[in-house]
Amino acid sequence: MRWGLTYDLRSDYLAAGYSEEETAEFDRPDTVEAIEKALLSLGYEVERIGNAKSLAAKLVAGAKWDVIFNIAEGLRGVGREAQVPALLDLYDIPYTFSDPLVMALSLHKAMAKRVIRDLGLPTPAFAVIAEDADLDNVNLTYPLFAKPVAEGTGKGVGAWSKIDDASSLREVCTRLRRKFRQPVLLESYLPGREFTVGIIGTGREAEVLGTVEVMMQAGAEAHAYSYVNKERCEELVRYCLVNDAMAQTAADIALAAWRGLGCRDAGRVDLRADAKGMPNFLEVNPLAGLHPEHSDLPIICALRGIAYQELIGRIAASALKRVESYASPERC
């Protein structure tokens, strides 16, 4: 079976003049090498394709693959993680991870929270600040927490994200909107424990891989799993596998969110507890990082004793179940 591998290489964008923060979600060469090595060890042929533009060029030229292992994040727009899945749907080629709808919905954190709220799952009260006038209509109790509505890897999140008064609210929201050129998600601040839950599988077959409590170490930025804390996670963050009552509640909420949103194959759900100790949904990552040592999902697996090759194999196996439906006579 012939697999293609789609990805955005961070070094390519840095060489093109983009900043470290702009490229934070993109992959290192050793991530691509690790995935390729794992797929090869499973007996598959692998072709490196690269980013969405490289994929488009190859598709137009007539290239074909049995399935694509997709970790491409895209650069601009709320639909950037949906670009490769949409192209592959157009050319009727199956792929790993979620479809364009889920990718776009999950990247826009406020839209995802509306669905989560409709599913009856706990998520902090929120408002979206798209223009200055929206600040006059905020009806939330301080402290609040602000971040860009459609970024990942902690981009736009720092100690300043916790807001205690109206003057800070206006200053932080204005700065974030100008820098990231998108609305700001404003939420009630959650003071409790922070969890990230790893999930494998699709629909009824989805299951929790493990729940990790994310704990900031000395020298870490306060109040959040921020961009700086994520970039320097080896020294600033401690990950502890947990299974107490609160962690189990977090896992149950995460799995319900994963299934309710229609996520596929593997990813993560981030939660934080409120003042009463109830874990609340923050966001879902249906295209989780896969660096063997640096990314949260492989870290969860390592703490559970699940080898990296096994993780990639289980992702591939989940996606291959859809390949069977692609090949069925009903499609003719």
Q: What is the pLDDT of residues 224-280, one digit of tens each?
A: 787 787 778 888 889 999 999 999 999 999 999 999 999 999 999 999 999 999 999
Spatial distance between the Cα atoms of 332 and 322, rounded to a whole number of angstroms: 16
Same domain, residue pair 201 and 306: yes
Q: Decide if 205 is inside a domain.
A: yes
Same domain, residue pair 234 and 260: yes
Pair 39, 69: CB distance under 8 Å: yes
Q: Decide if 58 is inside a domain.
A: yes
Same domain, residue pair 176 and 231: no
Counted domains in the chain: 3
> What phi, psi does 310 have (nearest 5°)?
-65, -40
Pair 289, 296: CB distance under 8 Å: yes
**Could you tell me which residues come within 8 angstroms of residue 127 by beta carbon, excluding any fewer than 6 positions away?**
134, 137, 138, 139, 140, 186
Spatial distance between the Cα atoms of 156 and 186, rounded to a whole number of angstroms: 12
- What pLDDT score was predicted for residue 232? 81
- What pLDDT score was predicted for residue 24? 84
Q: What is the CATH number of the domain that holds 202?
A: 3.30.470.20
Q: Decide if 111 is inside a domain.
A: no
**Could you tell me which residues come within 8 angstroms of residue 184 by beta carbon, excluding any fewer than 6 positions away?**
128, 129, 146, 147, 148, 149, 172, 173, 176, 177
Same domain, residue pair 21 and 89: yes
- What pLDDT score was predicted for residue 332? 36
Same domain, residue pair 229 and 157: no
- What pLDDT score was predicted for residue 87? 98
Same domain, residue pair 46 and 62: yes
Residues (pLDDT < 70) of the chain are 326-332
Same domain, residue pair 55 and 152: no
Same domain, residue pair 199 and 312: yes
- What pLDDT score was predicted for residue 23? 87
Q: Decide if 9 is inside a domain.
A: yes
- What pLDDT score was predicted for residue 327? 57
- The helix (run of H) or strand (run of E) holding residue 241 is strand 237-241
Spatial distance between the Cα atoms of 120 and 83, rounded to a whole number of angstroms: 30
Record the tokens describing residue 255, joined without a space.
């799995």
Q: What is the CATH number of the domain that holds 136?
A: 3.30.1490.20
- Residue ending a domain, among 188, 205, 230, is 188
Q: Decide if 117 is inside a domain.
A: no
Q: Decide if 16 is inside a domain.
A: yes
Same domain, residue pair 153 and 136: yes
- Residue ending a domain, among 170, 188, 206, is 188
- For residue 135, what are the domain limits? 125-188
Q: Decide if 214 is inside a domain.
A: yes
Same domain, residue pair 257 and 286: yes
> What phi, psi does 45 have (nearest 5°)?
-80, 145
Q: Decide if 331 is inside a domain.
A: no
Strands (DSSP E) found in the chain: 2-6, 45-50, 67-70, 126-129, 144-148, 162-163, 184-188, 194-200, 207-216, 237-241, 266-273, 279-285
Q: What is the CATH number of the domain that holds 17?
A: 3.40.50.20
- What pLDDT score was predicted for residue 326? 60
